[in-house]
Copies of this chain bind each other. A is one copy, B any other.
Amino acid sequence: MADTRPARRRILDTAGILFYAEGIRAVGIDRIIAESAVAKATFYHHFPSKDDLVAAYVQERIDQQQVAIAALPEREPLEMLHLIFTKMGEIGASPSFRGCPFINAAAEHPNPAHPVRLVIDRYRSWFHAMMLHYLTEARHPDPERTADLLMILRDGLAVGGQLDNPAALTAVVDVALDRLLVGVR
């Protein structure tokens, strides 16, 4: 019955669930320690401060998303964009969805120079570059500005999935993408 995952893994798993579901400031270290069945000294051995854990939590979500995207089947560039955004719509419509973890984390960390914000910045640069890559490969006539628009679509889908009727979102993902890619296809 003993949990055999190493302590650091248990901490990150617990933090991943609690931070996402309840918010970062709302979840105290004591609770993470209790629910991951770890000694306090062990926790502070792996993460010298709560901020370090938060940064690791955000980074892990980034890794997961990058792995998921790398696992998509290889298709034509425009098809890839459709795959990515359709997937996003599905995730946004799933019942466990509580918004984009990066947008939510940023809302709790207003200082743009905070380590957590820097991690988020890197993620956003990566995502934007990916959009630009597919658009350029597809010989889109206006790849830079269109990449900006797809970034807006990404954020809008994430927020809408959290605050509006998520089912309605999946219905408009394709339309949104087609209209923003106007002229191509």
Contacts and interface: CB of A to CB of B under 8 A. Distances in A.
A103 B104 CA distance: 8
A124 B163 contact: yes
A78 interface: no
Interface residues of A, number: 43
Contacts of A21: 110
A22 B168 CA distance: 33
B179 A152 contact: no
Q: How many copies does the complex hold?
A: 2
A22 B160 CA distance: 24
Interface string A151-173: 11111111110111000110110
Contacts of A152: 152-153, 156-157, 159-160, 172, 176
Contact of A107 (B108, B153, B180): B108
A172 B156 contact: no
Contacts of A163: 103, 106, 120-121, 124
- Sort A-B residue pairs by CB-CB distance and give the 7 closest, nearest first: A152-B156, A107-B107, A156-B156, A155-B159, A104-B107, A25-B25, A155-B156
